[in-house]
Structure 1
Amino acid sequence: MKDFSFTGINLAISTPFNEHGKPDFNRLEQLIERYLAAGVRGFVLSSGTGMHVYLSQEESKALVAFGAKVIDGRARIVAQTSALLVEDVVERTRHAADCGAGAVMVLPPFFEGPTDDDGVFEFYSAVARAGLPIIGYNVPQAVGVEITPALLRRLCEIPEFLAVKDSSGDLSRQAALVRTGLPVMNGADPLVPYAMYAGARGLIWGGANFAPKTCIELVAAAQAHWWDDAREIWRLLEPAMSLIWEGDYVQSVYAASEMTGYGAGNPRRPLSRLSAQKIDVLRNALGDLVERERLAV
């Protein structure tokens, strides 16, 4: 079996933006240092939670380069290199390799791309030419392509294809992927403890932006199979993790992070800040997490 070194939390870090809507590299450095101090040992740069689809190629590459320089070997690095053109994915992946990333996360072909298994296989085979381990990204509700257990087995025949991140939000489907015996990473916030119990090998977690300390405690308990402890910690996290999954995901992560002391500014257009009413609902769902996390900042 291929070596899998991305266990535990890989934080899908939010991209900070300044008042002009441009990436704020000073704030990014501050956030990375805070997350490292909290115990985060894996980062996904230019993540979905970090608004990858609303970054230009040059902005995304600059974030990967800067983030990797700040991390400087102190944590694992995954870079998202998804793009519409396979040539762009390969170029971004080679850039990520030059920056020191240990793997890339790549969506299957999307926006009227091939949806058959042969087309998806050929796509990832082409990306593999860049030479970095690949984490496939299963989010069928967004891209219209599902990585099934049969397709996962086939993709893992590609030497560089390491694992799949499952963000379907469907625990039964994720468990079916896990039963292949191949590395599966959970990407659905409300499923974290259940996915770990089912055998998910790692987590790519956007909601951990606003509660890194508590999320790390949960994962440590689950990895030790202290399930009673994990359930008690999950009681603190579950209301907010479930709420953000219901809609306005990225905006909610940005807003919640402001409340707990890990603010990344406002999301970039076309996304807007949450309404006052939604912020009140989110604050109520966070409950004791606000004070709990601020004590760690």
Structure 2
Amino acid sequence: MFKGSIVALITPMDEKGKICQQSLKKLINYHIKNGTSAIVAVGTTGESATLNPEEHSRVIMLTLDLADGRIPVIAGTGANATSESILLTKKFEKTGITACLTVTPYYNRPTQEGLYQHFKSISENSDLPQILYNVPARTGCDLVPETVIKLAKLKNIIGIKEATGDLSRIHLIKQYVKDDFIIFSGDDETALDFMQLGGNGVISVTANIAAAEMKKICSLALKKDFNTARLINQRLMPLHKVLFKEPNPIPVKWAAKKLGLIKTDTLRLPMTKISNSTKTILNQILEELKLYP
């Protein structure tokens, strides 16, 4: 159902921290123009942790409306309470949302059995396709391959975003799941290697500001032209790295503003503005890559 470069979309805000619909529309049009395969709305990069429940749903539905059927929209529906994640997921049934990206419950640090029961409960309470999301550096818990393999047998769990950067997990998962189970990288630095080992694509932060380049890398990788893809990826590697020099999405929002994709790089506390030292490095990289319009 999904493959290639999928963007983990930033959530643009105005100077007062309110959702900026004009910038959101501009971002969506930018991704459609540059061949991004799908949009993830209100994931980690979309600042799900600082949007209230009403805003969370509004941004997803606004993204769906502005996309207007031109690009698939995946809704971020993770929560640290299973009941909350079920309610959020059910909101998007029969709306046009194509799938949900559901992060492991954060802060609670559940056992593997707890993780299995969490995702099983969501699966049993919604017909929407579910993509698991494992990012232990953010959540404090790790969805291990053995649990992923068990979950892949459930009716509407269709894939995983694996953001550990551990390339060995691809083989561990792929050898025991069906061929149509989708495995996405959630780490731009290792995404090409991930695809060379059998991954289906990447849910990307870098794609927010280098959509055409990420699309090209993934398209080449899916055609098994890894040599050409690697040449492009080597050019982007400094960008992959600097976008995580400070907590995501601090650097990428600043870069998107500099490139004219959004009006402001406003973040909500406890996220703070980018440091001057990171600005200097990032600006130099944007110039070297000729990403400025």
Question: Which residue in 2 is equivalent to 1:276?
Answer: 276
Q: Displacement of 1:46 after TM fit?
A: 0.7
Provide the rounded CA distance (Å) in 2 between the counterparts of 1:223 and 1:73: 24
Question: Which residue in 1 is equivalent to 2:119?
Answer: 124
Which stretch shifts more, 226-235 or 241-250?
241-250
Question: Which residue in 1 is equivalent to 2:22?
Answer: 26
Provide the rounded CA distance (Å) in 2 between the counterparts of 1:294 and 1:210: 10
Counterpart mapping for 1:127-276 below 5 A:
127-128=122-123, 129-181=125-177, 182-263=181-262, 265-266=264-265, 267-276=267-276
TM-score, structure 2 normalization: 0.92
Provide the rounded CA distance (Å) in 2 between the counterparts of 1:178 and 1:243: 31
Paired amino acid for 1:285 = I
> Quick check: 2:5–2:37 contact (8 Å CA) kept in 1?
yes
> Quick check: 1:148–1:177 contact (8 Å CA) kept in 2?
no
Structure 1 residues 77 and 140, CA gap change in structure 2 (3 angstroms) = same
TM-score, structure 1 normalization: 0.91
> Quick check: 2:245–2:278 contact (8 Å CA) kept in 1?
no
Structure 2 SS opposite 1:9: strand
Unpaired runs of at least 5, structure 2: none
Counterpart mapping for 1:17-166 below 5 A:
17-115=13-111, 117-128=112-123, 129-166=125-162
Provide the rounded CA distance (Å) in 2 between the counterparts of 1:281 and 1:33: 28
Paired amino acid for 1:152 = V
Provide the rounded CA distance (Å) in 2 between the counterparts of 1:147 and 1:101: 25
Structure 2 SS opposite 1:65: helix
Provide the rounded CA distance (Å) in 2 between the counterparts of 1:258 and 1:232: 27
> Quick check: 1:237–1:286 contact (8 Å CA) kept in 2?
no
> Quick check: 1:15–1:264 contact (8 Å CA) kept in 2?
no
Q: Displacement of 1:173 after TM fit?
A: 3.2
Provide the rounded CA distance (Å) in 2 between the counterparts of 1:23 and 1:199: 37
> Quick check: 1:175–1:195 contact (8 Å CA) kept in 2?
no
Paired amino acid for 2:274 = L
> Quick check: 2:133–2:160 contact (8 Å CA) kept in 1?
yes
Task: Please tell me whether residue 286 in structure 1 is matched to residue 286 in structure 2.
Answer: yes
RMSD: 1.7
> Quick check: 1:185–1:203 contact (8 Å CA) kept in 2?
yes
Q: Displacement of 1:114 after TM fit?
A: 2.1
> Quick check: 2:217–2:229 contact (8 Å CA) kept in 1?
yes
Percent identity between the two aligned chains: 25
Deviations 1:19-63 (A, max 9, x none): 101111121112111221122230001121111111111101001
Provide the rounded CA distance (Å) in 2 between the counterparts of 1:217 and 1:131: 33
Structure 1 SS opposite 2:70: coil
Unpaired runs of at least 5, structure 1: none
Paired amino acid for 1:239 = P
Provide the rounded CA distance (Å) in 2 between the counterparts of 1:179 and 1:288: 41
Provide the rounded CA distance (Å) in 1 between the counterparts of 2:65 and 2:3: 22
Q: Displacement of 1:153 after TM fit?
A: 1.1
Structure 2 SS opposite 1:234: helix
